[in-house]
Amino acid sequence: MGNWIISQGLSAFILVVWMGINIFLFVYFYLFYDQGEQFMYTRELLGAALPWARAPAAVLNFNCMLILLPVCRNLLSLLRGSFICCGRTMRKQLDKNLTFHKLVAYMIALMTAVHTVAHLLNAEWYTNSFQGRYGPLTPTLLVFTTIAGLTGVVITLALILIITSSMEVIRRSYFEVFWYTHHLFIIFFAGLVFHGAGRIVRSQQETSPRHNISFCKDQPENWGKIPECPIPQFAGGFPNTWMWVIGPMIIYLCERLLRFIRYMQPVSYKKIVIRPSKVLELQLVKPGFKMEVGQYVFLNCPAISQLEWHPFTMTSAPEEDFFSVHIRSVGDWTEKLIKMVENLPEGGQGPTMAVDGPFGTASEDVFDYEVSMLVGAGIGVTPFASILKSIWYKFKDSDPKLRTKRIYFYWLCRETYAFEWFADLLQVLEKEMEERGMKDFLTYKLYLTGWDQSHVNHAMVHFDKDTDIITGLKQKTHYGRPNWDKEFDQVKQENPSSVVGTFLCGPQALAKDLEKKCVKYSDVDPRKTKFYFNKENF
């Protein structure tokens, strides 16, 4: 339990605070509309659905205020830099921005469902209460002839499309559908701002003399005839949703303006390389561009799409005079880009590219730990390419600021040829560490997870060779998946009093497993080994 508090305590506290505010808003506004005297006559017309409609609206205002902030990448990068003095625990919360974004989105979806159903009941009971005295008034007519009704329909449809297109299967297989549909948030927020403009929920207004509800409610025949019972006056409340969302909307507009400015800045190619396993390496140069290890950029290729931006972790080191990305063919956009490059004439320049970034990630903190465990799965090795290159430069320049004493690097791949494009970097590092007598500084293990018996037989035939038959490295390739209990225990034994940063760029299932191991193998005693889990999120 103590290890869990150390690892997840702040995240849990933030979650509890967020949920507490949601519950408070719901309960407060439910009671306000359910027991407030000024809404007594409104409740007579609408029934119990009135508080069930208004309480979720208050929760929606709060969460719609929050939903844009976790995707303001420049704001998060600024905060990450500001939190250096606050320690890694606070900065780690920024790496969970997309998780929080999704959590807020789920709350918006739930509250929208409750709000919509309650208002549909309100519309039905409202029209029934007049019993045809005002013509053919129907719930459908009420919904489609009022500002609140029309904007409500638009908001709900936009939200349904945004949420359904955000499902994992859609994002993985049809990223463009997710990308374009997600921009319906513009329509969502526009509708949200105008939704309350019709002031359709009305309450009794203060008048002099005031209509005494408790005295007058059972004697409507005396309304307007005696001083205690003047004709009650009703009016809708002033719309306040815009006050909740205007701040985040302005911040987001500034974010988009900054992205547009970056979009207009020229980007040139230093080198284009097609690596094995159809991995495209782009070495790019942009004036004034500065990066840190493990950061990522968004790329836009107008020749493919002027609107689509895709995130890629940079594989270059800050010490280099260019920045590079490695792009694997995993979708329509990447396939088109690779085909365009493959068809270039010899010596030809690549297509025009726009770059937005760089943006901070968890891997920026790798040199803040005495010991680091780096785990990459497939193309997820890219942030660690940047880190390992930077380490090579730091050793080359004898950087006195290098705090890291040891690095454990694990790379999991399904196919043998996936190792090829990265093996040359590891060979350089392997040689460099040997020459400096620091073989123990970098421990790396490569795992082939998609192997069959033929791979094993081939390895057994060549087991006596000095280098691995797949990678050409002195470290032999392992077959299967790592035994993480064994690996964490080994790291703990070899570093009995260190703070170990565990960094992952890979699938969520592996993230859950590694996070559990970090909790399991951390010691409550501050003088002993502690593991901190960090995951790359885009």
Cα 376 to Cα 117, 372, 379, 409, distances in angstroms: 46, 13, 8, 8
pLDDT tens digits along 243-290:
899 999 999 999 999 888 888 889 999 988 887 667 888 999 998 888
Question: Is the pLDDT confidence value at 431 over 50?
Answer: yes
pLDDT number for residue 307: 80
- What average pLDDT does this structure show over 26-49? 83
Cα(223)–Cα(217) distance, integer angstroms: 9
265-343+350-359 and 362-535, same CATH topology = no
Query: What backbone torsions phi and psi does residue 312 show, to the nearest 5 degrees?
Result: -140, 130
CB 355 within 8 A of CB 262: yes
Question: Is the pLDDT confidence value at 538 over 80?
Answer: no
Q: Report H helices in 356-507.
A: 382-396, 420-435, 453-461, 484-494
pLDDT tens digits along 97-107:
888 999 999 99
Greater pLDDT, 454 or 185 = 185
> Among 197-201, 381-385, 441-445, 471-475, which is the least confidently predicted range?
471-475
Predicted TM-score (pTM) of the model is 0.78
Domain ranges across the chain: 2-198+240-258, 202-236, 265-343+350-359, 362-535
Cα(532)–Cα(125) distance, integer angstroms: 56
Question: Is the pLDDT confidence value at 468 over 60?
Answer: no
Give Dmax over CA atoms of the chain in angstroms: 108
* Of the candidates 256, 333, 258, the residue with the CA atom closest to the CA atom of residue 301: 333
Question: Is the pLDDT confidence value at 394 over 70?
Answer: yes
Question: Is the pLDDT confidence value at 461 over 50?
Answer: no
Cα(364)–Cα(537) distance, integer angstroms: 13
Question: Is residue 394 classed exposed, middle or buried when 0-12, 13-18 and 19+ CB atoms within 10 A define those classes?
Answer: middle
Cα(413)–Cα(467) distance, integer angstroms: 19
Assign domain 265-343+350-359 to a CATH class. Answer: mainly beta
Strand, coil or helix: 383: helix
pLDDT number for residue 465: 56
Instruction: Give the pairing type, strands 279-285 and 268-275.
Output: antiparallel
| pLDDT, mean over the chain | 81
Q: Report H helices in 418-531.
A: 420-435, 453-461, 484-494, 508-521
pLDDT tens digits along 135-187:
455 667 666 677 778 888 899 999 999 999 988 888 877 777 888 899 999 99
- What average pLDDT does this structure show over 499-528? 85
pLDDT tens digits along 306-357:
888 888 988 888 888 899 998 888 778 888 999 998 888 877 788 899 999 8
Cα(422)–Cα(273) distance, integer angstroms: 13
Assign domain 362-535 to a CATH class. Answer: alpha beta
Question: Is the pLDDT confidence value at 419 over 70?
Answer: no
Question: Is the pLDDT confidence value at 27 over 90?
Answer: yes
